[in-house]
Amino acid sequence: MVLQQHCSDYSLNELFSGRWSGAPGEVPMAAIFVAAVVLRVSGLIRLSPMLWGLLGFCLAWCVSQGGGTDALLQHALMKSFLFALVFMLRNHFTGQLPAGYQCTHAFIYGGLCVLFRCYGPFAEGTLLSLIFAQLITGMIIIFHRHMIPVVDP
């Protein structure tokens, strides 16, 4: 497999400021950070799933040997990844889940995003990563509920 570097044509400044086109969530990174802070302070989102998503992204990056720190920052700053961490991980599916499942979903999403971006045929693997993360998390929930009985105290 050949590692794809689709965002290497953009400088970190262009990626951070939102001065590039072609991906969902192409807004200035400052707007995403401000929205994340406002949503967190208001209690509408949890910090732990976002951190688990970043951890999944970084671990998958290291395991797949995606490149150096600059390439990691370029892929992370393509905004659709962070946009999804802030806004799209709180939907009707994940919003109903306990915190542990939300963190699991975010971790899977972060790892899959790297794999789809680096090894897939798409420059952006965000939407595909979200869909597969929901599918995998749903299978984990089914397995957990049916195979491992939970006894209420």
Within a domain: residue 35?
no
Within a domain: residue 29?
no
What is the model's pLDDT at position 61? 85
Within a domain: residue 99?
yes
17-to-9, 31, 54, 68 alpha-carbon distances in Å? 15, 10, 20, 21
Consecutive 10-residue averages of pLDDT for the chain (153 residues): 51 66 62 87 88 91 75 72 81 80 92 84 77 91 78 56
Tell me 151's DSSP state: P
Predicted TM-score of the model (pTM): 0.78
Within a domain: residue 142?
yes
The H-assigned helical ranges of 64-98 are 69-76, 80-83
What is the model's pLDDT at position 150? 58
Within a domain: residue 28?
no
Q: How many domains does the chain have?
A: 1
Within a domain: residue 91?
yes
Within a domain: residue 69?
yes
Residues spanned by the domain of 116: 47-147
Within a domain: residue 103?
yes
